[in-house]
């Protein structure tokens, strides 16, 4: 493994240790699925705890699908608490994708079995919660806890889209997970939209 990768991952662990020293029990929060043309938006909240022993936590985009799957199971097993939550296509259409993603984050934190004293949230917007919160730009590459949340949200959503592909096989959701690839756009033009699509995201295609 490259030295810079090892150094970055160690820096993410060190970042969390500093947050824990100041704030006590905290959770990382991230979302998955703001960009796709189809499917619910997902979010996860993860409390790793001080000595979780999970190696290789990183921004989910920097990991292979196989490694994300492995870490998903390890986080479920070793984290102090975790929760994955969603906001529906109807909610995305009603309130816009940003607000729906924040709602999914709110639900994920509220679903934790342990109440954190502090939140680290990826990005520059935070969900509406009474818990003190810090937003972190590129948080999934800064904090191991946010990275863990990014992995949980990403894997859970990918599994959901793969399952939905069985009901709408003509769109290839198992391959692109709802993102606007050339193949997906061509399928929309050929077959029209299905109930899994976000109507407001298709205005430039249809």
3-159 is a CATH 3.30.420.10 domain: yes
pLDDT for residue 2: 83
Answer whether 112's CB lies under 8 Å from 27's CB. yes
pLDDT for residue 1: 64
Successive 10-residue mean pLDDT values, the chain, 206 residues = 85 95 97 97 96 91 94 97 98 97 98 97 96 97 97 98 97 97 97 97 91
**Residue that has been written with the tokens 């800064």 in this structure:** 142
Of the candidates 48, 50, 49, the one whose C-alpha atom is nearest the C-alpha of residue 152 is: 48
Answer whether 119's CB lies under 8 Å from 26's CB. yes
pLDDT for residue 163: 98
pTM of the model: 0.95
pLDDT for residue 204: 87
């Amino acid at each position: 493994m490259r030295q810079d990768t090892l150094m970055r991952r160690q820096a993410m662990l060190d970042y969390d240790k500093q947050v824990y020293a100041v704030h006590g029990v905290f959770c990382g929060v991230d979302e998955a699925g703001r960009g796709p043309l189809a499917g619910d938006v997902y979010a996860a909240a993860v409390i790793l705890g001080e000595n979780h022993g999970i190696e290789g936590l990183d921004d989910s985009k920097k990991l292979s699908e196989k490694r994300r799957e492995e870490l998903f199971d390890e986080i479920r097993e070793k984290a102090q608490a975790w929760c994955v939550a969603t906001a529906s296509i109807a909610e995305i259409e009603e309130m816009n994708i940003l607000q729906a993603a924040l709602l999914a984050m709110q639900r994920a934190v509220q679903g934790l079995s342990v109440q954190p004293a502090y939140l680290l949230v990826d990005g520059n917007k935070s969900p509406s919660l009474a818990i003190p919160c810090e937003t972190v730009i590129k948080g999934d590459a800064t904090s191991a806890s946010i990275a863990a949340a990014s992995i949980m949200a990403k894997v859970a959503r990918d599994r959901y889209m793969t399952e939905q592909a069985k009901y709408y096989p003509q769109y290839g959701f198992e391959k692109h997970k709802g993102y606007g690839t050339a193949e997906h756009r061509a399928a929309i033009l050929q077959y029209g939209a299905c109930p899994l699509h976000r109507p407001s995201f298709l205005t430039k295609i249809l």
